[in-house]
Structure 1
Amino acid sequence: MYVDDLVITGNNSPFVERIIDQLGKKFSLKDLGPLHFFLGIEVIPTRDGIFLSQHKYIRELLGKTSMKGAKDVTTPLSTSVSLKLDDDTSSFDATEYRRVIGGLQYLSLTRLDISFAVNKLSQFMHAPTTTHWTTTQRLLRYLKNKIFQGITIRKTANPALLCFSDSD
């Protein structure tokens, strides 16, 4: 068996160390110490827990799309533009569009604020138009403005699963 990357974590350090020792007896194992990056996600320890960020990934995505110098916006989607399949604008390079949307889908792991916009833009991957691309660029401009947002996983004595739903 070959495993490239594996994260073992827990709130009981002696137990985690025993697990790593047991795995080390069965497999060739290299402990890289405290987690800093994993699959493009930066892991930052805080007093309250850990903060997960993909700001480096956002920078790379902005660079690949020539959006580093773009003007920031404060919302991921425009409220005045309605996206539809046939919007009477010219078609856009589907390969490029899919590459960027795929990157945005991966980014939504730590950026739940873009989930709706990415889902909406994903609906047009088979036949993107310039309107769809312009909307994608707006989303990238939003990410440029909010580059250091992410997810905080808090330490807690009484963990609870919370769910929120928007019936619309």
Structure 2
Amino acid sequence: MASNRLLELGFTKYLEITGFVPSKVDASLFIKVSGALIMYVLVYVDDIIVTENQSVEVGVFVKSLDQQFSLKDLGKLHYFSSTSLFLNQRKYIKDLLKKCNIEPSKASSTPMVSTCNLSVPCGSPIDNDFDYRSIAGALQYIVITWPDIAFTVNKVCQFMHKPLD
């Protein structure tokens, strides 16, 4: 009965009931401090990252989450650094560059000229609009740790309905 009640309350409420406090600087980060134990839960859309300073309680906590919400544990992180508490998408970005066949590529201080005026009627339809949308979505995910590309990604996403060359 309590299990169904918690499910009705939602994930955020479950975290609060189990002792987590929402971060004041990031609405998707929850923190639990219990004695020497500090546990973090970071939520992004349908992904959850759980980490702690003692690596003892994560398994127990993930099991309790699974009992309440039916999770799929993907194991250790592959696209994030776990040595300190910051997100590092280097591998994710390198894999994206490889997927787009633009590796190696040179860095640019400005990914796009801010005065560029793009318009809908200019250009020809691209061959594979699915790839365009997939790459645009991947770039939106990268904006989390690379906010300096947000302007460019926003421009790219404005043309997702009918991408042109």
Scaled by the length of structure 1, the TM-score of the pair is: 0.52
C-alpha distance 9-38 of structure 1, shift in aligned 2 (>3 A): farther
| 1:41 and 2:80 correspond | yes
State the alpha-carbon separation in 1 of the partners of residues 115 and 142 from structure 2. Answer: 25
Aligned residue number for residue 48 of structure 2: none
Query: Identity percentage over the alignment?
Result: 30
Aligned residue number for residue 99 of structure 1: 134
Q: How does 1:7-22 map to 2 (within 5 A)?
A: 14-16=36-38, 20=57
Cα shift at 1:83: 1.4
RMSD (CA atoms)? 3.5
State the alpha-carbon separation in 1 of the partners of residues 134 and 94 from structure 2. Answer: 15
Q: How does 1:133-148 map to 2 (within 5 A)?
A: none
| 1:90 and 2:127 correspond | no
Q: Which runs of 5+ in 2 are unaligned?
A: 4-28, 39-53, 67-75
Contact 1:105/1:118 (8 A) holds in 2: yes
Cα shift at 1:110: 1.1
How many residues end up aligned between the 2 structures? Answer: 111
State the alpha-carbon separation in 2 of the partners of residues 12 and 86 from structure 1. Answer: 59
State the alpha-carbon separation in 2 of the partners of residues 90 and 54 from structure 1. Answer: 33
C-alpha distance 55-127 of structure 1, shift in aligned 2 (>3 A): same
Paired AA for residue 125 in structure 1: M
Structure 2 counterpart SS, 1:124:
coil
| 1:67 and 2:102 correspond | yes
State the alpha-carbon separation in 1 of the partners of residues 133 and 35 from structure 2. Answer: 42
Contact 1:44/1:52 (8 A) holds in 2: no
C-alpha distance 9-44 of structure 1, shift in aligned 2 (>3 A): farther
Aligned residue number for residue 47 of structure 2: none
State the alpha-carbon separation in 1 of the partners of residues 149 and 110 from structure 2. Answer: 9
Q: How does 1:110-129 map to 2 (within 5 A)?
A: 110-129=145-164
User: What is the CA deviation profile of residues 100-137 of structure 1, one whole-angstrom value per residue up to 9, with x for unaligned ones?
Assistant: 0011011111111111211121110011111xxxxxxx
Aligned residue number for residue 17 of structure 2: none
Q: Which runs of 5+ in 1 are unaligned?
A: 2-6, 30-36, 131-168
C-alpha distance 28-102 of structure 1, shift in aligned 2 (>3 A): closer
